[in-house]
Amino acid sequence: MVGLLILLIELALIVAALAGLWKSFEKMGRQGWEGIVPIYNIYVLLQITGKPVWWLVLAIIPFVNIVFIVLFVLVCIEVAKGFGKGTGFGVGLALLGFIFWPMIGFSEKLGLGETRWQGVGAAPGGFPVTPAAPAQ
């Protein structure tokens, strides 16, 4: 019985994180589904933040993937700054995503005020810089 309760709690946390990712990616001008596809969502975040895509390769190399964890925290900090949030919020996105991604995605519905994507480099006093649109 306790095992079932733990499983239901875990499932609820996963659903919250995925829903938050979906809505956050939509706020960043991307398709919502891109936020919930494993590996691809990190690829998209690397593109959005202007980080090298080869960082993703570090995630699959044993022992080197520890470095990727640090790099992922840096990417999440950039995403947080793009939403007008601070470094601590970015660390929360990386380490407690099931709480912080829904806070961005559903900020209006949670009564946290409107959270808009301002672009990479949009720290207070900075100028919004967004990646160039792909050529069509």
Which residue range is the domain that position 15 belongs to? 2-105
Domain membership flag for residue 119: no
The angle at the Cα of 96, spanning 70 to 37, to the nearest 5 degrees, equals 80
- Number of structural domains (the chain) is 1
- Contact call for residues 98 and 104 (beta carbons, < 8 A): no
Domain membership flag for residue 136: no
Domain membership flag for residue 76: yes
pLDDT (tens, 9 = 90+) of the chain, 136 residues, equals: 888 999 999 999 999 999 999 999 999 999 999 999 999 999 999 999 999 988 888 888 888 888 888 999 999 999 999 999 999 999 999 999 999 999 999 988 888 888 889 988 644 433 344 444 555 5
**Rounded to two decimals, what is the model's pTM?**
0.81
